[in-house]
Amino acid sequence: MTSTALRKAELGATGLKITRVGFGAWAIGGGGYEGGWGPQDDEDSIAAIRHALALGVNWIDTAAHYGFGHSERVIGRALAGVEPRPYVFTKGGLPEGPGRTKTRSLRRDSLLREVEGSRERLGVEAIDLYQIHWPVPDEEIEEGWSTLAELKERGVVRHIGVSNFNVRQLRRAQAIAPVETLQPPYSLIDRRIEVELLPVAEREGIGMIVYSPMASGLLSGAMTRERIAALPADDWRRHSEEFREPQLTQNLELVERLRRVAARHDTTPGAVAVAWTLRNPAVTGAIAGFRRPEQVDPIVAAANLTLDKHDIATILRRK
């Protein structure tokens, strides 16, 4: 990738100006737990983070759940002594249970413990953006969101947001305190948020960062049937319907259309997939996961990639 400055955008009303592509740190949490990505080399993770920062990426998104703190610890190591520091966003609500199993709690005491653990692992006084990871248990949403509002008032976190909320759940939180950001899944394969959530975010000026814009690597251009068959046993994607038939054939056909568009722009299918999500005016930034430094350049290029009508028609198989 060239040294061209990455495009940035205002994240809602937070005052944060973020690069349109951010570093997603789910996979660097490694494997050995439900939702894991299989074995991961920490030195590769650190090198990938530092390379992304060198290219201009100015935010990292993680969660306490990713490796039950391991992703946050790796980020803390990678950022030790780094100036200027990128923004670091993390999430709570899925504390570790017995035998590296996840539990779900939005209770105040649980979230307070989680946020302190995240601050310690990340090595920060205040977390730039703290998010409820999932709106579960549903009956605890109000207590959880009130706790995040309290944390912001105390200065423990600078901004607060929610992940995986629908509009009804968003309204319940907004009745307590403003929701500054939303983080839903969004990709060419998963377009559910286009019906309600995207229009609401755009109309109300809520910052939106989307995750899995490459459908967990499926649209990266590097995923093949052989690679999928060889995924480690503790990689959650082995059990995903999108990585199995009959969806797999359709998804790989989509990748070939992305490849044709990528050839026009001298880029990669993955960058085109990410850029497709960024074309929506409600989307501020997209989270792209990286496990090694060589994966960064081809995808971060999406921050500066503009797709035209011909490109969109090719991707969506329109005449």
Active site residues: 66
Say how far apart CA 302 and CA 68 lie, in whole Å. Answer: 30
How many CB atoms within 10 Å of residue 170? 21
Do 313 and 319 form a contact (C-beta atoms < 8 A)?
Answer: yes
Encode 282-305: b = buried (16+ Cβ within 10 Å), e = exposed.
bbbbbbbbbbebebbbbbbbbbbb
Strands 8-10 and 17-19: antiparallel
Q: Which of the 8 DSSP states describes residue 92?
A: E
Q: What distances in angstroms separate CA 269 from CA 2, 53, 194, 231, 302, one per listed residue?
A: 18, 22, 22, 21, 10
User: What angle separates helix 108-122 from helix 70-79, to the nearest 10 degrees?
Assistant: 40
Could you give phi then psi for residue 184, rounded to 5 degrees? -105, 165
Of 287, 140, 146, 142, the residue nearest 207 (C-alpha): 287
Instruction: List CB contacts of 269: < 8 A, sequence separation 6 or more.
Output: 219, 220, 221, 255, 258, 259, 261, 262
Do 315 and 276 form a contact (C-beta atoms < 8 A)?
Answer: yes
For residue 226, the SS3 value is helix
CA 197, distance to chain mean position in Å, is 17
